[in-house]
Amino acid sequence: MLLNGLISDCGKYVAERKDREGWYDVSTLKEPYRVEGKKTMAYELWEQFHGKLPDVILYPTGGGVGLIGMCKAFDEMQEMGWIGPERPRMVAVQAEGCAPIAKAFKAERAAAEFFPNAATLASGLRVPGPLGDLLILRMLRQTRGTALIVTDEEMLQAGKELASLEGIYAAPEGAATVIAARKLAVSGWIQPEETVVLFNTGTGYKYAEAWQRALLA
């Protein structure tokens, strides 16, 4: 079934009909294993950094399950004695056209408000009402992290640079972290000696038409 609208409209449709239709709701944070899968990103970082963690992690945040999963893994690592209480500073990167977490973080709120008229070419960031907002905001503050907003134009420009300079055909969501990292470095929030990890959560092949328009612009 194809619905016109955003991911929030799909969630509402399922919630209204799941009991009557006998559906099992596997939407974000309502299924049992997605966070468990996402947290493997943190274990891979720990392994690839030879038992250490980076100073900063920038993650493109729509529903925010990746951020939640990694923070869960860090807690597990500490319980197992693999790491101490130190944590990477987590950064949620959102689109200007859909930034409920960034707005709530800036306003120092514990919860995010629904973002009206959400619009961004980065479909993974087009989540106007993330269910895990309380968890995301709490984890950003607990890790002394932050949240940033990036425009679609900035994402496309960074994506072209990633392709030409690094050979990485990133999705706009991943390209957004490049812009965010630059802004944080310029402001001094990220220091030159710190280790920083940017997550690209998708392939540019999903956005072939958008990249084509950007190259012709």
For residue 140, being part of any structural domain is answered with yes
The enclosing domain of 113 has a CATH number of 3.40.50.1100
- What string of pLDDT tens digits covers the 217 residues of the chain? 676 766 666 667 666 776 787 787 777 777 878 899 999 999 999 999 999 999 999 999 999 999 999 999 999 999 999 999 999 999 999 999 999 999 999 999 999 999 999 999 999 999 999 999 999 999 999 999 999 999 999 999 999 999 999 999 999 999 999 999 999 999 999 999 999 999 999 998 888 877 776 665 6
Q: Is residue 7 part of a domain?
A: no
- Kindly list the strands in the beta sheet with 146-150, ordered across the sheet, starting from the edge strand earlier in the chain: 146-150, 89-95, 56-60, 196-198
For residue 4, being part of any structural domain is answered with no
> What is the pLDDT, as a whole number, of residue 93?
98
What is the spatial distance between Cα 117 and Cα 180, in angstroms, rounded to a whole number? 23
Q: Does 22 fall in a domain?
A: no
- Give the pLDDT score at 216: 59
pTM for this one?
A: 0.90
Which parts of 106-214 are beta strand (E)? 146-150, 196-198
CA–CA separation, 168 vs 171, rounded Å? 9
In a domain, 33, yes or no: yes
* DSSP three-state, residue 170: strand
Give the count of domains, the chain.
1
Q: Is residue 5 part of a domain?
A: no
Residue 11 lies inside a defined structural domain of this protein: no
What is the distance between the alpha carbons of residues 134 and 85, in angstroms, rounded to a whole number?
21
- Residue 187: give the domain boundaries: 28-216
> Is there a domain that residue 23 lies in?
no
